[in-house]
Amino acid sequence: MRLIINALKNVWTLSAYRWLSVSGFALFFILYLMTLPSSFTGGQIGWIALQYLDLSMVILSFIMALLVAFIMTLMVWLIRQGQKSSKASATGGILVGIFAPVLCCSPIIPIIFGSMASLLPSFIGSSGPLFQGFIATHQIELFTIAIILLLLALYQNAKKVIHGNSCHLK
C-alpha cells in the first residue's frame, strides 16, 4: 500500500498528473455509474441506467473509477518517462467491469452464440442463455475479479514508478 501511495505522490508533484487523475476519475465514475446497472435495463447503457443504481453499485463504481484513474495516471507518467507500463491486468479489469453487466441481459451473447451455432450447432446453439445466466448470477464475483485485476495493475505500475528500470547487481 505504501508503494502505491509513494508512487502517486511522486507522480502528483506535477499538476498535470493531478488533473489527469481527477478528470479520469470523473469520466470513469460516470461511465461505471451508467454501465453497472445495465443488467436491469436490458443491456442499455445511458442515463436511463441511473435510476437503477443502488448503494453497492455506486460503491463499486467509485472504487473501479478511482483505481482506473490512478492506473491511467501512472501509465501516462511511465510512458512519458520512456518506461513500459503494465497494461494487461488493467485492460482485463476495465473490460470485466464494463462488459459483465452489459453481456448479462443484452442480445449480444445470443447473437454471437447464434452465429457460432451455424458452425458448431450441437455445442454452441443453446449455451447463450446459460452463459448470460452465469453472468447474471455471478456479477458480484466478476466485479470482485475486476477490482483485483485493477489492484494488481496499480501495484505493478506503482512498482515501476518507484523502482524504474534499474538493475540490481549482487
Give residue 166's pLDDT.
Answer: 53
- For residue 92, what is its C-alpha cell? 482485463
- The CA distance from 93 to 142, in Å, is 9
Give residue 124's pLDDT.
Answer: 52
- The CA distance from 99 to 94, in Å, is 8
Closest among 159, 160, 150, 167 to 2, alpha carbons compared: 159
**Which pLDDT tens digits describe the chain residue by residue (170 residues)?**
899 999 999 999 999 999 999 999 999 999 888 888 877 776 677 787 788 888 988 998 899 899 989 988 988 888 888 887 766 666 666 666 655 555 544 445 555 555 555 555 555 555 556 666 676 677 778 788 888 888 888 888 898 888 875 545 45
| Whether this model's pTM surpasses 0.85 | no
